[in-house]
Amino acid sequence: MERALAPNARTAFAVIAGGVAIFAIALRLRALTFSADPSLCASIDTIGAFLTFTFTANALVRFRGTRDLMSLILAIGFGVVGLMQLALSLQLFHNLDSALRLLDSLRPFWLQSSMLLAEAMLLASVVERPFPHSANLPRTDLALTALTGTVAYSAGALYLLFGHEPKIRALGPMAQPLELLPVFLYLLAAAAFHQHPKMVSSGLDKALALAAAMNAGAHLVRTVSLQAADAPFTLAQILRVSSYAVVLGGTLLDNSRLFMQVRQLAISDPLTGLANYRHLIDVLESEIERSGRTSREFSVLLLDLDGLKSVNDQYGHLVGSRALRRLADVLRVHSRAVDTPARYGGDEFALVMPETGFQAARRVAGRIRERLMLQTEQPKISVSVGVAVYPSSGTTAERLLMAADEALYAMKQEANTGRR
């Protein structure tokens, strides 16, 4: 119990220390006679809007591919906030002459959009779960969109009803205490994403936790801001927009990992994890093209698991599947990094060995058979092996596999003759 509490205590201490440091820096900045150009403030908001739109597009792609409810809610939240920020920046560009007064009057609008995003992140962290495909999926998507929009609209309406335009307290260190509310919401979101239980570490979760903490810091800085475009205000803007870049980066890294997993699934056999037939043909054609340029031979082993039907009949299909995986493990462990072991189909496997001649291929086949004989797991398994070499056995993938199959059949015939 004490060990579990220790990391949480350290995290809480780090958050408090970081908050105190940020607040102290913001107070020092408030003493500066600095006022950002209104066009700079508008430009920062425009950059933030386009970052949120880019994240929204990536989150929707992720949702379509994984049916991850968290991605859908985040896409909606960031998309709405992006539209609000874009509207604000366009308004500022249209009224640059009175932009400072406009920024002061739009402080509730900025706070409302930040609270909306914090609520969306909290909602996403709570209800995150994949859900299955169904015929009513469009209706489900519409219902989720309506739910998220209703929650966000209700929060904004309550704020406008009771908050109106928050007054700035020129005396004391905290000029805008209402900014503490989004600080609290973002800290809750950061804690929720930081503690997400994941089978695989998610870059998006880490990015969301960091982005929520950065937004909490931005609003903590805003608590000491005395007027629009002063130094704390500008720092808060930069922190907020930077948090969008962090989330986008985390999404891109996570999507890249997901795409790699999908690609791996597309080229691998689900039972053994080896390359599947399609990838085997691609590798053979690539090796044929490369060997045609270098004039170097390569070999293909075709292996057939002996007596798989008898194993299935006597021990059951689970043991038969285990026998296939045992052979696959031997091929995977005892082949070179440049070799490609693959499941050819059924009880047949293939091994493509670049820059390997006939005699070397025969030695590899012998080692594989020896490794299987040394296994203590029951039932004992063995393989018959056929060897084909490019270009002497054939110059196409089909011809090489056919030659290896013929050699495999000849070995089986020889073994059957020997038994008689």
- What is the span of the domain harbouring residue 296? 277-419
Question: Are 298 and 193 members of one domain?
Answer: no
DSSP state of 347: T
Structure confidence at residue 121 (pLDDT) = 86
Question: Are 136 and 167 members of one domain?
Answer: yes
Structure confidence at residue 73 (pLDDT) = 85
Residue 60 lies in a domain: yes
Question: Are 84 and 191 members of one domain?
Answer: yes
* Rg value, the chain, Cα: 32
* Cβ–Cβ < 8 Å for 387, 406: no
CATH number of 379's domain: 3.30.70.270
Give the residue from 227, 245, 266 where a domain finishes.
266
- Does the global pTM surpass 0.95? no
Supply 149's token pair: 């929009």
Residue 271 lies in a domain: no
Residue with tokens 């031997």: 330
Question: Are 24 and 55 members of one domain?
Answer: yes
CATH number of 30's domain: 1.20.1070
Residue 45 lies in a domain: yes
User: Distance between CA 359 and CA 361 in Å, rounded?
Assistant: 5
Give the residue from 266, 285, 307 where a domain finishes.
266
Structure confidence at residue 197 (pLDDT) = 55
Question: Are 163 and 39 members of one domain?
Answer: yes
Residue 39 lies in a domain: yes
Structure confidence at residue 1 (pLDDT) = 44
Residue 272 lies in a domain: no
Question: Are 242 and 117 members of one domain?
Answer: yes
Q: List helix spans (H) across 67-179.
A: 69-94, 99-105, 107-127, 137-162
User: Distance between CA 53 and CA 69 in Å, rounded?
Assistant: 18
Question: Are 171 and 63 members of one domain?
Answer: yes
Question: Are 256 and 282 members of one domain?
Answer: no
Question: Are 70 and 155 members of one domain?
Answer: yes
Q: List helix spans (H) across 223-295.
A: 231-267, 277-294
Give the residue from 234, 266, 298 where a domain finishes.
266
Structural element, H or E, at residue 340: strand 340-345
* Order of strands across the sheet that contains 340-345: 340-345, 348-353, 298-305, 383-390
- Tens digit of pLDDT per residue, the chain (420 long)? 445 446 667 777 787 888 888 888 888 888 888 888 888 888 888 999 999 999 999 888 888 877 778 888 888 889 888 888 888 888 888 887 776 777 777 777 777 788 888 888 888 877 654 444 444 455 455 555 555 555 555 555 555 544 455 566 666 677 788 888 888 889 888 888 887 655 444 678 888 999 999 999 999 998 888 888 888 888 998 999 999 999 999 888 888 887 787 777 778 888 888 989 999 999 999 999 998 888 889 999 999 988 888 888 888 989 889 989 999 999 988 888 899 999 988 889 999 999 999 999 999 999 998 999 888 888 988 888 999 999 988 889 999 999 999 988 888 887 666 555
Question: Are 262 and 301 members of one domain?
Answer: no
Question: Are 158 and 301 members of one domain?
Answer: no
Question: Are 256 and 332 members of one domain?
Answer: no
User: Distance between CA 282 and CA 332 in Å, rounded?
Assistant: 19
**Number of domains, the chain:** 2
Residue 120 lies in a domain: yes
Residue 387 lies in a domain: yes
Structural element, H or E, at residue 302: strand 298-305
Helix, strand, or coil here: 397?
A: helix
Residue 322 lies in a domain: yes
